[in-house]
Amino acid sequence: MIHADFNLVLKYCEVLDEFIKIRVFSDEEAREVVQRATGSDKASYQRVVVNACIGDYNDESLQNAELETLGTVDIEEMLYLLCVEVNPSLDIHQVSVQITSTDIVIDDDPALKKKLRQRTRANLRRLANMEKEIRNRVIGQEHAVEIVTRSVKKSALGLRDPEKPVGAFLFVGHVGVGKTELAKAMAEYLYGSQSRLVRVDCSEYALPHEYAKLIGSPPGYIGHNEGGYLTEAAKEMKDFIVLFDEIEKAHSKMHNILLQLLDEGVVTDSKGFKVSFRNALVLMTSNLGVREANASRDGIGFDVAKKDETRYEEMKETIFASLKKAFRPEFINRLDDVIVFNTLSFDDSLKIVDKMMAELTCIAERAGLGLTALPAAKELIAEQGFKPEHGARELRRTIKKLIEEPLTEKLINEEIREGDFIALDADNGKIRFDVISSDALEAFPE
């Protein structure tokens, strides 16, 4: 929230790249909005909320936005999430929508039956495409993507224990190999944004008393009435992903909370309420055992290119030995799987560079610059930034060093100006910035 004016606030919408005015309702006004929601599905309810909260909302602008984003994002869903962020009492999970007797007789409505069948087919297509879409974003971790997406698919079809979370996985591997990126990608694919990803930095819960920040302070302590970070997020969102980053750094008291979460699908907060995590995907990351696995087999380390199945199982055994030293057996046994992330190969690095450069090109366009990287430039970045033990983070640092910082200096010195088109090429181990004229640009390869 950056500004307030009577009963309006401005919230930034990432997809539309603009600030949206959203009305703040009193409890009585919120109840009136809910009473107007007579639809039989989530989409209808969301539309009522968006129309009530956003005064200048209209279907034409929504359609234009959807065309611009090529239908990859549900714009109305994004607006609804912003509205609920401002007005939590309008969350569909918190309300009871009144129905009339005419609403009940729907089985014989052909139009409704057709709509439900179409929605079911669309959901199935989305499930079928999930693994492919996530693989395109998380490079070099096909095995991890397959396991996690399979769990989500089973849950969506009801083929799981309803008393437990959607899935519980521990990701183990080097830094920068995609452990956190997979969690972010899943949140964006399932919910349209990272707003449904609850990230817990376990290094902040290393002391015995700090676990209380997750579930709330005990009675008599400061902050008891405020609730806990984790439990309050679960109450608000219902369906979400929770990521426990570097789980080994948390105190054992936090591990005890996780035992209840993984076993019963609930967490008891400081007030004694049982908060459900049965619609949550629980992910954890760790670096435990990575160094030992690297040092095994005469220093061969993680299989960088071959991703050999036998080698993978050997690494997993080494990592399991380290996990057993850090966690109690009942904790490990409650996990659906421990997934060892591959060390990135050079080919993986080239793909990641390609992806990062596409992102940088978009940033440059917003600054009024045309930018393209020729294959030789991308290969040079991959060569200088390829450090398996540092993963994609070193590639990001290399792009900053070779491209972003020199480009900044050239803009300041007016060697490059707004409106220019720059081609990046490799020249004697350095990146060369070629300004392409408008005439030459027509013949320039895309």
Let me know if residue 119 belongs to a domain: no
* Burial category of 190 from C-beta neighbours within 10 Å (exposed 0-12, middle 13-18, buried 19 and up): buried
The tokens describing 362, both together, are 């978009």
pLDDT for the residue numbered 145: 96
Contact call for residues 148 and 338 (beta carbons, < 8 A) = no
Are both 85 and 149 inside the same structural domain? no
Domain span at residue 62 reads 4-104
The verdict on 45 and 147 lying in the same domain is no
Beta bridge partners of 426: 431
* CA 43 – CA 296 distance, rounded (Å): 53
Same domain, yes or no: 327 and 355: no
One domain for residues 163 and 144 = yes
Q: What is the CATH number of the domain that holds 365?
A: 1.10.8.60
Secondary structure string (H, E, C) spanning the chain: CCCEECCEEEEEECCCCEEEEEECCCHHHHHHHHHCCCCCCHHHHHHHHHHHHCCCCCHHHHHHHHHHCCCCCCHHHHHHHHHHHHCHHHCHHHCCCCCCHHHHCCCCCHHHHHHHHHHHHHHHHHHHHHHHHHHHHCCCCHHHHHHHHHHHHHHHCCCCCCCCCCEEEEEECCCCCCHHHHHHHHHHHHHCCHHHEEEEEHHHHCCHHHHHHHHCCCCCCCCHHHCCHHHHHHHHHCCEEEEEECHHHCCHHHHHHHHHHHHHCEEECCCCCEEECCCEEEEEEECCCHHHHHHHHHHCCCCCCCCCHHHHHHHHHHHHHHHHHHCCHHHHHCCCEEEECCCCCHHHHHHHHHHHHHHHHHHHHHCCCEEEECHHHHHHHHHHHCCCCCCHHHHHHHHHHHHHHHHHHHHHCCCCCCCCEEEEEEECCEEEEEEECHHHHCCCCC
Under a CB-based contact definition with an 8 Å cutoff, are residues 95 and 52 in contact?
Answer: no
Tokens representing 31 are 């109840």
Both 254 and 384 in one domain: the answer is no
113-120: long-range pairs with CB below 8 Å, 24+:
119/41
User: What CATH number did the domain enclosing 184 receive?
Assistant: 3.40.50.300
- Are 353 and 381 a contacting pair, CB within 8 Å? yes
Residues 149 and 238 in one domain: yes
> Do both 100 and 132 map to the same domain?
no
> Quick check: is 109 in a domain?
no
Give, for all 446 residues of the chain, the pLDDT tens digit: 334 445 888 888 876 778 888 999 988 888 888 887 766 678 888 888 988 898 666 554 554 554 444 343 467 778 888 898 888 888 887 777 655 444 444 455 566 555 555 556 677 788 889 999 999 999 999 999 999 999 999 988 888 888 999 999 999 998 999 999 999 999 999 988 899 999 999 999 999 999 999 998 877 677 667 789 999 999 888 789 999 999 999 999 999 999 999 999 999 988 888 899 999 999 999 999 888 877 765 443 344 444 566 777 778 888 989 999 999 999 999 999 999 998 899 999 999 999 999 999 999 999 899 999 999 999 999 999 999 888 899 999 999 999 999 999 999 999 999 899 999 999 988 999 999 876 556 555 55
pLDDT for 331:
94
State how far the Cα of 57 lies from the Cα of 76, in Å rounded to an integer: 10
Strands 430-436 and 421-427, bridge-based pairing: antiparallel
Cβ within 8 Å of residue 14, ≥6 positions away: 78, 193
Contacts of 445 (CB under 8 A, 6+ apart): none
Half-sphere exposure (CA, 13 Å, Cβ side) for 82? 28
Q: How many independent structural domains does the chain possess?
A: 3
Give the tokens for residue 376.
Answer: 């030789």
User: Does a structural domain hold residue 112?
Assistant: no
What is the C-alpha separation between 340 and 314, in angstroms, rounded?
Answer: 11
Q: Within this chain, do residues 270 and 161 fall inside the same structural domain, yes or no?
A: yes
Domain termination residue (choose one: 274, 309, 340)? 340
Residue 333: per-residue pLDDT:
94
> Hey, which residues does 243 pair with through a beta bridge?
199, 283
Distance of alpha carbon 415 from alpha carbon 367, whole angstroms? 16
* Cα-to-chain-centroid distance, residue 164: 21
**pTM score, whole prediction:** 0.69
Question: Domain end: 340, 369, 398, which one?
Answer: 340
Domain boundary among 303, 320, 340: 340
Tell me how far apart the alpha carbons of residues 124 and 157 are, in angstroms, rounded to a whole number: 9
In a domain? residue 110 = no
Q: Do residues 32 and 161 share a domain?
A: no
pLDDT of residue 68: 44
Place of tokens 């004697």: 428
- Report the length, in residues, of the chain: 446
